[in-house]
Structure 1
């Protein structure tokens, strides 16, 4: 099922977007299909469309054709296509009467691309076909195919060896997704591009990736023991946080239990852990959220708290007692010297900016959450769909600008390159000088944009050449609350339902529509019915009564 869906991000050899498109077309249901995928997804077979020929023949979208009826006996398992070196060996034995050793020599000539050796084999092959009764003409035609095949011959045992690892990783992802994705994220914790892909895949699989937590996280990414289908961000993956100091933090937690507050944390961990840059990184990354402290408030006073606590710890170690310390008789301190942590928090954009700075990724939230519907409506495809669109064609896609790099051509003209990402995929976008003059001022990291671009699919990885850029006003979208309607199902006969559709279509906008049918049934209408809330309310009240608008 996982392979059939093309849900193969993180699966060995099957991760790329074009490969996932091929998998969906092939719908593999056997180990032979997995091996064939690996053999076919290479420049040679792809240049002659053999990869999609295999998929279409397998799924009966095209007839299986053989160059001779007798070929079915040797090429039936690959739908008439020679996709392996071993296929050539079997054909040469069947049609040219080669011995196993002679067939292996032909295989070597193919695999090593030895043209002189191939020329020598041609005459021998054609003569062999004549001797076996298939005729020199078929021998010539067949060897022409084999000669082209020499450019992309692939060893079947090699493909099966890769295929076994592919199958094993697919099995782990299908049956132990949380554990497997935890390991994947750990393996790429220093590669933010890869980590971002796996994080998006986790979200698409309804697996939450949680911010680091000084009380629950481990050194590396790990399944959360408290929340099911969740992965905790590894503490060592936080910027400026080394594994050695993390281990000291974890050792203290293991011996004396969870940290009760930031004050408790500062009081208990070894002094080396109280490196201010490390603590600042943990605060910005959400490492102390579970202790109940707001990030902005804690960031404002953490240095003072550390300085005060470290001074007291050193005095205590030296036997110096402060007037404000616990007198040791069970009585509380004379005065609580703790510095108060202000109850203030960053707004969403700044909180996420700091979080990405320290974690390399948006984890607790994402700037695109809440605007996905707008991007879908204004685009004609998603980034993930680009692998299946026509090379050189024009597309309209939406997403978030990241990694913006402004450059200059040799002539001194401005241009830009950035990555456009949505919640699942990303693509590199180039803005050439002519487009920069008109649209360059709109480009900024973390801007949500809609781009019309020309698609370049000459390489395996699609790229976009921007033609137009329009900025999506996220603040304006936030000002479009949903429209909640209360209309009992019994009151929605066909004419009234048609009237509702007509009103919603008459006032298109950005507010999603929720329809309460009574008895606990609430429907969220398709994005095509999103409305201009203020304009639609009056018409709905006229048609369905004042109470149709839920408060």
Structure 2
């Protein structure tokens, strides 16, 4: 293992329109090279953490959770004119559970307090949440490198500044004090870019002067070397440019991939860069964060004196049963007792009370609700609470399809509210459980095959009609599932699914065009590199999360400006896997 390496500065597809490393491919590449660990450090966000941790764990690789934060030299509350608004990059890694919680605080407050074009932190916030964190000086866009006078466009038109070596030393010393000795590293990168090599000796001198250890990194933005062109096309989509434009934002090297351990050690030999590669393994050993995916985090429901959640739920159900049925016969009474026992044993009484309370509030406010949908209609408890309006006994509906004692899964009752008052229901939920306990849930759009083809044609400067002709040759969706470009071009074998065969057969026109249409092959190959990557974030149409404690203790959140919605940085499946209560407020 002494000759191995760990990549600790890595951008995935969750650095949207900038990172092209698919999480699954990334961890497989690391595992194939025998590297013991890898980090995720996306731009200003923790979007991909749940997917990354699960994928890395499956491959036997230690997942290191991190971020490339945007750091303002002033206050995160400042809103300076755009050309005066400086921000630096800083790589920050969680060493332990305390560090992970602090990382979530930084990622959240960067949005809640510091969002101004980008989510920004400052030195004050960093010092407040530095425990359990490891920091580095970062890439050319970092505070220390920028003070060394690099003239390199780094991000969103942020450019270098005049050289101030003493200032760079002071900045490095400040961050060493913030993180603590042994927790701050001078990051070294070499992609063959002149600006990096120009400041290399300065960085080594600063490390020696301030007694800061070195750390080699490759600032990876894609997994494999051959993906450099697809990544370049992705940058063109981000900036609305074409690849032939010499003045556009681009990476001046094709070396930003997950290099092998031997490549990194050859790039940063021990005699010239003492400890730079070994320290990646040291951090890989230190950084151990365990995320609990086997818990249920239901918020408590306040019940009247003399009751607990189970007894209060039983009282409400029996009162509702009297209204629904009058005097209960044996069949109805036994069904109610059985369901309540299952609900209590599984710890879900508070869930039913929460849903009941929301439906009851809507009724008192004259807000129309739906009769219930899906498997929840199989619950007599839901029927007696007026959560649903279908009698499961009358219609022979099965409770176990909704809640099965053999499956440890959170119930999922979809609630339909009059669309005009959906925001009112979310407001009520936030008031009842605390505004810092409630948020809407993020979702991401991906670059689908047809859009990838059109995007590729544009960035390669082919005519609109060329891209449109190729995109329209993609086959129609089957049962709502679009064909991928690979399904269209790769002949299915005898074990392929019926959908794969149907998609391939329906794409004969696309394959013909690739033989006859000028530029078609180049466009399609570029599109294959773009297809499936995350394009942008948005808010899920229905999902709301309610937490038993402040959300930022469990998931990072974001808000893009004053008055905007508070949204989790983890997708719906991640929120559910963490054990949080996800509810669908449908319109």
| TM-score interval, normalised by the smaller of the two chains | under 0.3
Larger Rg: 1
Give the TM-score, by structure 2 length. 0.22
Give the TM-score, by structure 1 length. 0.23
Structure ranking higher on relative contact order (CA contacts 8 Å, 6+ apart): 2
